Amino acid sequence: MASRTVQTELVASQQSCPECGGTLDSSGRETHCTDCALVVEEDQVDRGPEWRSYNREGQKRTGAPRTVTRHDRGLSADIGSAEGSDISSRRRRRLTRQRRLHGRSKFDSKRDRNLAHGLGEVRRIGSALSESQSVKEQASTFFREAKKADLLIGRSIEGGAAAAVYAACRCNGLVRMETVADVARCSTSHIWTCYRTLLTELELPIPVSLPVDWVARICSDLPLDVTPESRQRALALAEEATRSTDINGRPDGVAGGALYVAGQESDLRLTQATISETADLNITTTRRWYQQIEENIVE
């Protein structure tokens, strides 16, 4: 590119043919002599802007940006369908065959084919959960790293893709396993197995879940309105339980117990069964942490 630029500047500075001394014409895609027709330079570099234009007449030669959500970074092209065009049936069959062969030629190996299938599953799950593009890209990166490290050998691609999406959601403090499992094409236990493998081998930056985070989450899903005073009291109890050395358990159970204590103090008709059903907990878990909070925190 540098040599071509130097050559262009040299030709532009000469302004005459190196063979006969005639006049150079650079109006087209090549620079040639108007007297002897010597082609001095060809395939000139277009130094115009590379911005996108949504006006069909002013479109530039730029395509979609590169993305990690596709196995080829989005650089390959597709042969479009012939629907709606006025072509013969013979040419339509030919285009269909070319499209099929072109789709097969995208993959150099079975590994690339599995990668494309897994990234497609990541995009499907992310779209079903209405996640942002950044979460999809992070999940795609996790899935690529898992495939590169051979962590998914003996496991289904669907499970690895769902685990990658769940890991990306956990990194951003979003959704729960049950939400991902509802749209995944594998069992919850299989997603957990793949997720633990990714968490251990890839050393993912998963933030620690605290009871305070679960209080707001449970309150938003409860079938009845929780007063601001009860919410603040539950948050205070959850913070004290986090600092306490006597209470150390699953954060959603501690949050459920703190919310039940706050409801009891404010005469809120909030039962242990309602909290347990909303937080997807066993009622004995909520009862155990409620008793622990009353014994160690509530005076």
Residue-wise pLDDT for 25-63, tens only, equals 877 778 888 888 888 887 666 666 555 555 555 555 556
Residue 130 pLDDT more than 70?
yes
Q: Where are the alpha helices (DSSP H) in 15-156?
A: 89-105, 110-128, 133-148
Q: For 211-227, b where at least 16 C-beta lie within 10 A, e where not — what string?
A: bbbbbeebbeebeeebe
Residue 11 pLDDT more than 60?
no
Least confident of 6-10, 50-54, 164-168, 180-184: 6-10
Give the span between the Cα atoms of 177 and 192, in whole angstroms: 8
Which is higher by pLDDT, 5 or 20? 20
Give the span between the Cα atoms of 25 and 14, in whole angstroms: 12
Q: How confident is the model at residue 68 (pLDDT cuts 50, 70, 90)?
A: confident
Angle (CA) 16-17-18 rounded to 5° is: 115
The mean predicted confidence, pLDDT, of the chain is: 80
Match 């003996």 to its residue by tokens.
Answer: 154
Q: How confident is the model at residue 84 (pLDDT cuts 50, 70, 90)?
A: low
Number of other CB atoms surrounding residue 143 within 10 Å: 29
Instruction: Give the largest CA-CA distance in the chain.
Output: 104
Residue 254 pLDDT more than 70?
yes
% of the chain beyond a pLDDT of 70: 84
Q: How confident is the model at residue 158 (pLDDT cuts 50, 70, 90)?
A: very high
Angle (CA) 167-205-276 rounded to 5° is: 55
Amino acid, single-letter form, for residue 220: S
pLDDT of residue 10: 46
Give the span between the Cα atoms of 130 and 203, in whole angstroms: 26
Distance, CA of 147 to chain centre: 16
Residue 127 pLDDT more than 70?
yes
Residue 241 pLDDT more than 70?
yes
The 3-state DSSP class for residue 93 equals helix
Q: How confident is the model at residue 125 (pLDDT cuts 50, 70, 90)?
A: very high
pLDDT of residue 63: 60
Residue 206 pLDDT more than 60?
yes
Average pLDDT over residues 4-33: 68
Q: Where are the alpha helices (DSSP H) in 244-281?
A: 251-265, 272-279
pLDDT of residue 13: 46
Least confident of 54-58, 203-207, 245-249, 288-292: 54-58
Q: How confident is the model at residue 121 (pLDDT cuts 50, 70, 90)?
A: very high
